[in-house]
């Protein structure tokens, strides 16, 4: 049931070393493309960086350098360790993808496109969950580092997230949510 998939899906960042087949990535990307999008703009763009590809290595180096320059800790050893760990996480992910949203002809459509692309990522994550894959959606380091045009994104695209994808190394943690009546106002 869809509700079970929604309730059990978690942000996953620890994976086995098992290869994620291209067919599985295409399946979850297709699920993403069925997200609602006002005006049928289909604003999402997906950039997959293959596991051993040169582009993945280049992006990992860009992120490593960005983390070293921007980490808040003045301790040089911690800066080096944090930057190396960020690079290694990119390199180790069985699959890694960037998701961008195209801008619209005005601010309203650009905002709608961003929201639609976020819905697309949720679809992708639910589809991944349904076939045994985990996804870690990040808006942090891999998105803050300026990789856009390096990976083929157009300069005016908006980054929505970096996705780490693979087979979960452990059972997903459980979670709780506020009760419906705690987050809803009825008039």
Do the domain assignments include residue 67?
no
Whole-number Å distance between alpha carbons of 128 and 134: 6
Do the domain assignments include residue 88?
no
Do the domain assignments include residue 83?
no
Q: pLDDT at position 74, please?
A: 79
Range of the domain at 22: 11-50+94-170
Q: pLDDT at position 127, please?
A: 97
| Number of structural domains the chain divides into | 1
The total of other beta-carbon atoms located within 10 Å of residue 145's CB is 23
Do the domain assignments include residue 65?
no
Whole-number Å distance between alpha carbons of 55 and 72: 27
Do the domain assignments include residue 116?
yes
Task: From first to last of the 187 residues of the chain, give the pLDDT tens digit.
Answer: 788 988 989 999 999 999 999 999 999 999 999 999 999 999 999 999 999 999 999 999 999 999 999 988 778 899 999 999 999 999 999 999 999 999 999 999 999 999 999 999 999 999 999 999 999 999 999 999 989 899 999 999 999 999 999 999 998 888 999 999 999 999 9
Q: pLDDT at position 102, please?
A: 98
Do the domain assignments include residue 21?
yes
- Numbers of helices and strands, H then E, in the chain: 6, 4
Do the domain assignments include residue 146?
yes
Do the domain assignments include residue 143?
yes
Contacts with 30 (C-beta within 8 Å, 6 or more apart), sequence order: none
pTM of the model: 0.95
Q: pLDDT at position 148, please?
A: 86
Give the CATH number of the domain where residue 153 resides.
3.40.109.10
Q: pLDDT at position 1, please?
A: 79
């Amino acid at each position: 049931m869809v509700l079970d998939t929604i309730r059990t899906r978690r942000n996953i960042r620890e994976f086995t070393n098992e290869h994620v087949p291209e067919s599985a990535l295409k399946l979850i990307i297709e699920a993403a493309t069925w997200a609602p999008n006002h005006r049928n703009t289909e604003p999402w763009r997906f950039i997959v960086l293959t596991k051993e590809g040169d582009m993945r290595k280049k992006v990992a180096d860009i992120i490593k350098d960005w983390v070293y320059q921007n980490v808040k800790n003045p301790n040089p050893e911690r800066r080096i360790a944090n930057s190396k760990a960020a690079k290694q996480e990119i390199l180790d992910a069985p699959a890694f993808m960037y998701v961008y949203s195209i801008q619209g002809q005005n601010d309203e459509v650009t905002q709608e496109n961003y929201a639609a692309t976020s819905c697309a990522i949720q679809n992708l994550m639910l589809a991944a969950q349904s076939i045994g894959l985990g996804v870690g959606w990040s808006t942090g380091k891999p998105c803050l580092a300026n990789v856009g045009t390096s990976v083929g994104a157009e300069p005016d695209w908006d980054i929505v997230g970096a996705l780490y994808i693979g087979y979960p190394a452990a059972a997903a943690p459980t979670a709780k949510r506020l009760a419906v009546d705690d987050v809803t106002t009825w008039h």
